[in-house]
Chain A
Amino acid sequence: MLEVIWLIPAFPLAGFLLILLFGRRLGDPKAGYLAATMVLASFVVAVGAFFDLRTMPAEERQHVEVLFSWVPVSSLHIDMAFLADPLSLTMCLFVTGVGFLIHLYAVGYMHGDPKFSKFFLYMNLFVTSMVVLVLGENLLVTFLGWEGVGTCSYFLISFWHTRDSAATAGKKAFITNRVGDWGVMLAMFWSFQAIGSVSYSALNGAAESGALARSTATAIAMLLFVGAVGKSAQLPLYLWLPDAMEGPTPVSALIHAATMVTAGVFLMTRVSPVLEASAVWAPQVIAWIGALTALFAASIAVAQNDIKKVLAYSTVSQLGYMFLAIGSGAYVAAIFHMVTHAFFKALLFLGAGSVIHGMHHEQDMRRMGQIRRYMPITAGTFIVGWLAIAGVPPFAGFWSKDEILLFVLADNIALYVIGIVTALLTAYYMTRQVIMVFFGEAKWESHAEEHGAHGEFKPHESPPIMLIPLVVLAGLAIVGGLIQLPSFGWVPSGAQHQLENWTEPVIEFAEADIAGTWADGHKLILIGIAVASGLIGIALAWLVYQRKRFRPVEPQLLEEGWKYDQTVSAFMGGPGRKAFEAVAWFDSAVVDGAVHGVARLVRGSAGEIRKAQTGNVRNYAGIVGVGVVLLLAWFVIFRGVM
C-alpha cells in the first residue's frame, strides 16, 4: 500500500470534488454518507500502509512517494512528495479513524441544516489538508496542508456566517494563525539558506550529522515553534480557540480538539533532531510555554459555564501538556497523549454536542442537570471521557499523562509541580462539568418556555448515528493506553512500549534518556502522586458541586480568562486601530497632500505670472522702459561703461 500512499489524501479530495459538483443534488443525508465513506476509504489505505510498514525492518520503515516536481527554481527543488513513516502513519490512522467517526456523527448532527452538503464539502477538504500536512515529505508540503486546515477551519468556524459572532471568530482564527505562519515561512527560508533544502530528510540529516550550526538550528526550531504556538493555541496566541467554538460541534471535535490543533505538536516531533541540535534554552522555552499554558487554561476552565468553552480551554490546557512533553524530550509521550487526547476529547465534544442537540441548542451548563436520566448513552460515554481526561486508571488519559509527568520530573521539578497542579485542576473542572450537566438538579424545566416547547420540555437522547461514534470512542478512551504501556513487572514485556518501539526510527535521535534518573527508579510513587492529584480534584469538585459543602470558587477574573482576550481586543480596537487610521490619514493628507500641494503651487504661480499678460500697451511700455533703465544702470555701474 505504500506506493499508493497518495490515496489517503486523494479519497477525501475526490469527496470534496464530488460534493462540489453534485452536493446539492445528493443532499441530506447522502452527501454526508459520501463524505464519511471517503474518509473511511482513507483509513483503510492507512491501515494497509501501516501493516506494510510493520513488516519491514525498523530502520527501513520509511517510504517517499514523489508525485511531481512542485517548485523547482535553480538551486531550489521542492517536490510534491509524501513521506510514509511510523510518525506520519500514526497521525494518518487517528486523523482518518477519528475523522470518520466524526463524519458519521455529523450526518446526524447536521441533519436538517440548509447547508448540509456544504458542511461536508468543507469537512472533506479539511481531512485532505490534514493528511497532506502529516504526510508531507518537506516543510512546504506540510505548509500546504497547514494553511489548508487553517482555511477550512476558517470556513467551518464561520459556517453559520449570518451570525456576526461566528464570522468574527472565523476571521480571528485565520489571522491569529497567520501570525504563526510567519514563523513557519521564515523557518523554511532559513533552512533553504543553511542547507539548500526544505525537506525533512535533509534538515534532520544535517541536524543529526552536526552539519547544522547550533545557532541555525535554534533559529529554525524557534521559528517553527512560533508556528506551532499559533496552530496549537498556546500562550500568547491561544485566543482564537475558545472563540472557535462558534462552529458546529463536530467541527470543534474534529478540528479544534482531535486533529488540527495537534499539528504544532506533530511539527515539533517531525523536526525533533533540529530541536535536539539547538541551544539548550530552546527546549526549555517550549516546556515552559507548554506548562504555563496548561496551568493558565485549566484555571480558566474552572469558571466557565458554556459546556463547549470548558472543553475548549481544556483542549488548550492538554495541548500545553503535549508541548511540556516536547520540551522535556518526551516525544513518544507527546504523540501518545496526542492520540489518547484525540479519543477522549473528541468523545467529550461529541457528547457535549449530543447534549446540546438533546437540549434544543442550550449550551449553558447552569441550565442543565440530571440529564443522565434522559440521555443515558450520552451520559455513560461522557463519563468514560471524563475519567480518561481526569487521569483515573486504567483509562487512556492516565497512561499518557503519567508518561509525560515521568519525563518532566526527570527534567525539571518546577515544571513537574505545575503539571501535577494542572492535573488536579483538570480533574476538578471536568468533574464540575459532569455534575452540572448530568447530575445535580434539573434546572432546565424552568426554562422550558424559552425553548418554545409547549407543555413538558424534556431532553431527548440522540439518534443512533450519533451514538455509535460515541460508543466506539468511549471504547478507545478505555483501552487507548494499551498502545504504550510502561515497563512494570506485571506488564508482559511484549506489550510494553509499543508506540515507542514503533516510532523509534523517527524520534530516537532526540528522545530524552531518563534511564537511571530518580524519576525512572520511582515510577510507582509518581503514579501514586498522579492518581492522588486526580482523585483529590474529583473529590473536591464533588464536595463543592454535588454535596454543596463549600461555596464554588468561580471568580469573575477566571470566567473572563484573566481578561487577556479583553486586553488584546481593547488594544487592537483602540491604539491599534488608531495607528492604522493615522497611516491612512498620513497617506491622504501628507503624501497625497504634497502632490496636490505641488499642483496648487504650479497652478497658483502660473496664475500670478499670467496676470502680467494684461494686453495693456501702456503696461508693456512701462515694463520695457524700466527694463531699459535697469539694463543701462547695470552697464554703467558694473561694467564700467563711460
Chain B
Amino acid sequence: MKTLSRVTLYTLMTIMSFVFLFPLVFMVISSLKPDAQLLHDTTSLRAFIPTGSISFKNYSGVFTRIPFFTFLFNSLLVSLITVVLGLFVNSSIAFAIARMKWKGKNFVMAIILATLILPFEVIAIPLLYICAKIPSISFTGGFHLTHGIFNSYQIQILPFIANAISIFLFVQFFKTLPKDLDEAARVDGASWFLIYRKIAMPLAGPAIGTVAILTFLPMWNSYLWPVMTIQDERYRPIMIGLQYFYTNFQTSWGQIMAYLSLLTIPVVILFLSMQRFFVTSIATSGVKG
C-alpha cells in the first residue's frame, strides 16, 4: 500500500515535470536546427527530437550578429546593482515601518501599496516624460548641462530601486521578529541604526533571498524601458538583443531559439547553484503575516 502510493506520487511528479519542461526542451532542441527544418518540425512531435542537421551554427550566428557579451554584461551589471541598492533602500524603509513609530507612517505605507496597482507598461510613458527632465551634465562635445539621463546605466537602475513588493515583503518579515529584541537593545542604548545593521538584517537572510530574486528577474527581463531610453548599443540590455533577429520581415528563428536559450540558461544556472538557498528562503520569508 505504502509503495503503491509512493509509485503514484513519483509518477505524478514526473508527469508534472514533463509539463513544466517540454516547452524549454523544444526551445533548446530547436536552437540546434536550421530555420527551415526547425519551422517544419514545429508541426510534429519531431520538435522535441534532435534529428536532421544538428549543429551549433545558430549560436555562432548569434555571436557574430550581436555583441552578445556586451549585452550580457550590461544586464548583469544593471540587475545586480539594482538588486543590491534595492536591498538597502527597501529594507531600511521596511524596518522603519515595521519597528518604529513615526508620524506619517501609515500614509507612506498606503502610498506604497497604491503604487502596486498600476503595472509598469501603464506608467512607462509618463515616466519617460519625467526622466527627460532630469538635469544631467554631458562631457561629450564640451561640458554642458543637458536634460535627460538617457543612454546610461543609471536610467535603467534608478526607477527600479525602490519597489513596493520588496518593501512589503521586508515589512512582513520584520514584523515577525520579536519586539523584545529591539526594545532590549534600545534600553541598552543601542541606536536604531545599530539594531537595523546588527540585529534585523542579519536575521533577514530569507527575506533578502526572496527580494533579491524578485528584483533580479524583472530586471533581467526588462525590455520596454530600455527600448524607450537606450539608443546607444553600449548600454543595451540582453532582452533588446532579441529584436536583432527580426529584420525586414525576415525572422531568423533558429538564432532566436539559440538566443532564448542563451538568455534563459544563465538564470537557470544561477538559480540551480543557489537553489537550496532560494527555495528555502522564499519559502520561509515574510508570508507568515
Do the two chains belong together in a single complex?
Answer: no
Hey, which bits of chain A sit against chain B, CB under 8 A? none
